[in-house]
Structure 1
Amino acid sequence: MAAADVQQPPTQEPAPALPDYLTNPDAALGDKDAKWRYGRAPDYSKTRKVFADTKQMTHEAGSLPDLVQNLVKNWEVEASFKSNISDWRTIDQEKYSFAINGSEPEGAEAMLKVGTYNAIIAPNEYYSPEYSDFASSHKTFKRMMPTFAWEVLEVYSGPPTVAFRWRHWGEMKNDYVGFNNKGEKVTAKAHGGQIDIQGVTVANVNDKVQLQSVRTWFDPMDMFRQIAPNGVVKKEEKPKDMSPADAIDEAQAGLKTFEEQELPDRTIQTAKEVEQTIADIDKKEADEASRQEDLPADHPAVLMASNSEGGAGGCPFMPGGSRSEQ
């Protein structure tokens, strides 16, 4: 009797590996080729420690809440610190939009321009995006709360429509200084207590689990009620002829903050600014060369500024620069 043919089960393709921004909350921070807003990736180590020490939920690795939590954390890093939308790996760049509390949806460009805080907070008696720029918004909130952790509390539905409830919390260690809807500078004294806000987000994702539409609902006034629980704040006119960021620097002179919360040096330039700087230098050198040609033939030579060893006019703080003895 012939042996019966034994059918082998069909070979199954291995499941594709999950993107790292779903499995690692710090995946985006390792993108070395990305263009970072301040020339380098930020340091989130202290915020991550506060998250681990004070979170309410512990999600199993690889579970839906864990994956959603990692996705949003990487998105926040990209939205806050990657200055080229083409470097944002957590979004569907052709379809991405966000809206807060039923507002008109906007694209990534809007958030890139004004910053995450200004994009989600409506004008009110404590704060207004209309009188705050990207730099001042980060100084207002990140200096007040040196760490501002975020976690997923519950996930109600899975892809492609992901609905979840979240929590954002920190400790008010320094004074709140911001600008309200009247353009006034508002100061609230630090109380050292916790600020804890919660909300709900519904997000559509594509087959790569990249964000397409993000719709969030929360009460931003809940945060300000916790910042000034007794309603006691100081309001005064904003200093004239001073940017919002500089006005905050003046109000918080001497305040020491973690590197994560402090904006890096303003000397870091964009590619366009670098091109302009080079053009200005070339023009200056051309003008100086032209003046040399206009001098009489018997005029003593005029030394150009140089960084060479012993060169006149070299910068005393650069290698090779000269410095006269005191």
Structure 2
Amino acid sequence: MADLPDYVLDPNAVLKDENSSWRHGAPPDYTKTTTHEANSLPFLVENLVKNWEIEASFKTKLSDWRTIDEKVYTFSLNGGEKRTGHHMLEVGTYNALLSASQYYDPVKNDFDESHKSFKQMMPTFAWEVLEVYSGPPVVVFKWRHWGEMKNDYTGYNNSGEKVTVQAHGDPIDIQGLIVAKVNEKLQIENIDVWYDPMEMFNQIGKKNGCPFVKTT
């Protein structure tokens, strides 16, 4: 195991990259919540993806991302258009993973607005690997993202209207699949996320049917 890169052995590996350019001037505060057996395949996969998400959300230079093969890296949602790392740097991880709806539109919310909308609503949005179905070079696994709607949701929808949903305090729990190709260094070459983007919003607006309020 000594020859494996640190970003698959340590979920906080990239947080120690002091010389990288960070979006808010310093690494974010992340804590580990997994219980996978040390050095097992789920353990390695979970650490890789957690470190990738940290870099995608908070490192402002693609050349600083250690978890990807910068020359070939692409990202796609539900088998759609393959996007480069530069696209994700521009729009943010939330916008790359969401589609236009009555609640939200990635085109009408920039990187900072997207993070403000969801991180204020759910201060903690934990992530874990549930099952791994195949190992390198093509890694297929089931994942879970969950948190609690502690504060109101606010964002701009596909009509350009500002949407507000009152916090209900209940859990938000979404699941999906990821198919990722990695190289011999276990760097991600391409990653395809599969899930229903509306699942989160259906849970956000579950009280009283669809209790959103539009404001200008």
For the criterion TM > 0.5, the same-fold answer is yes
Q: Which amino acid aligns with 1:164?
A: F
Corresponding residue of 2:172: 195
TM-score, structure 2 normalization: 0.97
For 2:111, the equivalent position in structure 1 comes to 134
Tell me by how many angstroms 1:16 deviates.
5.3
Equivalenced residues, count: 214
Q: 2:8 aligns with which of 22, 39, 43?
A: 22
1:42 aligns with 2:21: no
Partner residue in 1 for 2:213: 234
Match of 1:177 in 2: 154
- 2:140 matched residue in structure 1: 163
Output the CA distance in 1 between the equivalents of 2:109 and 2:179: 28
CA distance in 1, matches of 2:79, 2:104: 20
Q: Which runs of 5+ in 1 are unaligned?
A: 1-14, 53-57, 238-326
The whole-number CA distance in structure 2 between the counterparts of 1:70 and 1:44 is 12
Q: Distance in 2 between the 1:214 and 1:152 partners?
A: 15
Equivalences for 1:81-96 in 2 at 5 Å?
81-96=58-73
What is the distance in 1 between the residues matched to 2:101 and 2:80? 16
> Which segments of structure 1 move beyond 3 Å, counting only runs of 4 or more?
none
Q: Distance in 1 between matches of 2:48 and 2:172?
A: 23
Structure 1 equivalent of residue 54 of structure 2: 77
Q: CA offsets per residue over residues 141-175 of structure 1, 9 Å max, x none?
A: 00000000000000000000000000000000000
Distance in 1 of aligned mates of 2:205 and 2:66: 37
TM-score normalised to structure 1 length: 0.64
Of residues 77, 102, 119 in structure 1, which corresponds to 2:96? 119
- Could you list the runs of 5+ residues in structure 2 that have no partner in the other structure? none
- State the Cα deviation string for residues 1-33 of structure 1 (Å, max 9, x = none): xxxxxxxxxxxxxx7521110011011101001
For residues 26-73 of structure 1, give each alpha carbon's deviation from its aligned partner in whole angstroms, at most 9, with x where no partner exists.
Answer: 11101001111121111124xx4xx35xxxxx3111000000000000
Tell whether 2:160 aligns with 1:207: no
Letter matched to residue 26 of structure 2: R
Amino acid at match of 1:104: E
CA RMSD in angstroms, aligned pairs only: 1.0
Corresponding residue SS for 2:38: coil
Name the aligned partner's letter for residue 214 of structure 2. Answer: K
Instruction: Give CA deviations for 1:221-274 in whole Å, capped at 9, x if unaligned.
Output: 11001001021110122xxxxxxxxxxxxxxxxxxxxxxxxxxxxxxxxxxxxx
Structure with greater proportional strand content: 2
DSSP 3-state at the match of 2:139: strand
Residue type of the alignment partner of 2:30: Y
Q: Equivalent residue for 1:223?
A: 200
Q: Deviations over 1:185-209 (max 9, x none)?
A: 0010000000000000100000000
Higher relative contact order (CA 8 A, sep 6+): 2
Percent identity, aligned pairs only, is 59
